Amino acid sequence: MKIRLLTALMAAASIHVSAQDSVMLRKISNEIMLHGTCYDNLRVLCKNVGHRLAGSPEAARAVKWGERAMREAGADKVWLQPVDVPHWVRGEEHLYVRGEDGRKVALSMLSIGNTEGTGGETWKAPIVMVKDMDEFSKLSDDEIKDKIIFFDYHFRQDLIFTFEGYGDAVKYRWLAPNVASSRGALAVIIRAVSTGEDDYPHTGAMRYMDTVKRHIPAVAIGNYSADLLVKKCKQGEVIGYLSAEAHMLPDMVRSYNVIGEIKGSEHPEKIVVVGGHLDSWDVGEGANDDGTGCVQSIEVIRAFKALGIRPKCTVRAVLFMNEENGLKGGLAYGDSAKARNEQHIFALETDAGGFSPRGFGLKMNAKKKAQIWRYKNLFLPYGVYDFSRDEGGADISPLEKMDVPTAGLLPDPQRYFDLHHTDNDVFENVNHRELKLGAVAVTGMVYLVSEHGLK
């Protein structure tokens, strides 16, 4: 009996987890599930501001919204950190195809972000279909020159963790316009990087490589449109008619990261960051990407204040600007942290949707990971169990490069890539309980790290 008691005591001492932590997580959960304001905040952001691509007037309004929401949450200090961002605009666009039957059919399309369009003119050219890069590389120069190349690469539905499927398919969004341009193609169509059983096209970023001379138009089409185009290409020659006004404006625009802070009571110099990104694509409402991450980060501040928690370390909620098509906010935050010699002990990003939380990705050394793993049991009552993945977040990647331990909230990933970067990423597709549970998970993790440090 004595030995068993001793073993239990030793185990308890070594895991830094106390009954008090468990009680505090329950208090945090009750506060957020019963009185949380994150869902109301998300409604205002989505419905009153709407989508908010960096550099746009809507993004400027989102900054004002974020500043106000952070103050209402009760942050000790709220400030705006200047960030210069690119400003890309979409304009009017359409894509028609005419196949063997002679009928002209409109496809559901979106220009890929950061691309140059056709200057609003209609470009007409034969469409050449390939299923992947390998097949493209086997085409002769004649088969590519002045053609519209259609990359029919599918999001791999066999991969259960959809972020793996995204990582696999998204290279077509980044690479296809570059490789096609370097071999003389006129334009590129890709099958949207989408798990969706629907016809929503997905936009998202690309970047023309420095070595690529012609910045050719590139568009994504919905899965049903892609299926139709495949069918037509198999029947015979298909002519595409593409018109797009998309272009990058020459000047950068002054914008801001929005930051709210609660000063640490014992170690104010040690900073724990929690954040999401305030910008979104210029379609839908940027609800799951990443309105949910913003309102969950603000909820951390609100819940701490409502419960009278005085964190030992400084807790900072950051709404980063321009994650989608430049990462300028994350870079500015990292540069400022370096210039001020700030001591960040942990950074957590929530940018994977407002779905039921399942776990945390961790990017840190083995010793620190082991400490976080010891908190696992505290999260089990909230359905959060997977701490096995190596995931952080794009906005906090500059901190990661400075050796700051980083982490990412991992919600259930099955629906995210149906909605991501589409017209369908709207407030109505966020569930209030799932969103709040995510806020409980991030607030709990921020509490534990600010209380115990990360050694």
What residue ranges bind Zn ion (CB under 5 A)? Answer: 289-290, 351
Q: 55: phi > 0 → left, psi -120 to 50 → alpha, else beta; which? A: left
Q: Shortest gap between Cβ of 105 and Zn ion (angstroms)? A: 32
Three-state secondary structure call for residue 145:
coil
Contact at 8 Å (CB) between 354 and 313? no
Exposed / middle / buried, residue 401 (Cβ in 10 Å: 0-12, 13-18, 19+): exposed
Please state the closest distance from residue 411 (CB atom) to Zn ion, in A: 12
Secondary structure of residue 64 in the 3-state scheme? helix
**Based on CB atoms, which residue is closest to Zn ion, 31 or 290?**
290
Q: Of 58 and 351, which CB lies nearer to Zn ion in the complex structure?
A: 351
Report whether 155 contacts 175 (CB < 8 A): no
Residue whose tokens read 């104010």: 268
Q: Which of 93/289 has CB closer to Zn ion?
A: 289
Q: How far is the CB of 195 from Zn ion (least distance, A)?
A: 16
Which of residues 311 and 357 has its CB atom nearest to Zn ion in the complex? 357
**Minimal distance in Å, beta carbon 351 to Zn ion?**
4
Rounded (10°) CA dihedral 252, 254, 257, 263? 140
- CB of 36 or CB of 330, closer to Zn ion: 330
Smallest distance from Zn ion to CB 350, Å: 10
Sheet (strand 148-151) strand order: 104-106, 93-98, 239-244, 122-130, 148-151, 187-191, 218-221, 109-111
3-state DSSP call for residue 344? Answer: strand
Task: Compute the least distance from the CB of residue 280 to Zn ion, in Å.
Answer: 8
Least separation in angstroms between CB 340 and Zn ion: 26
Is residue 298 within 8 A of residue 73, CB to CB? The reply is yes
Choose between 152 and 351: whose C-beta lies nearer to Zn ion: 351
Give least dist CB 394 to Zn ion, A.
7
Asked whether the bond before 210 is cis by omega within 30 degrees of 0, the reply is no
Place of tokens 């010891």: 374
CB of 65 to Zn ion, least distance (A): 17
Strands 357-363 and 406-411: antiparallel
Task: Count Cα neighbours of 197 within 13 Å in the Cβ-side half-sphere.
Answer: 3
What H or E segment, with its residue span, contains residue 29? helix 19-35
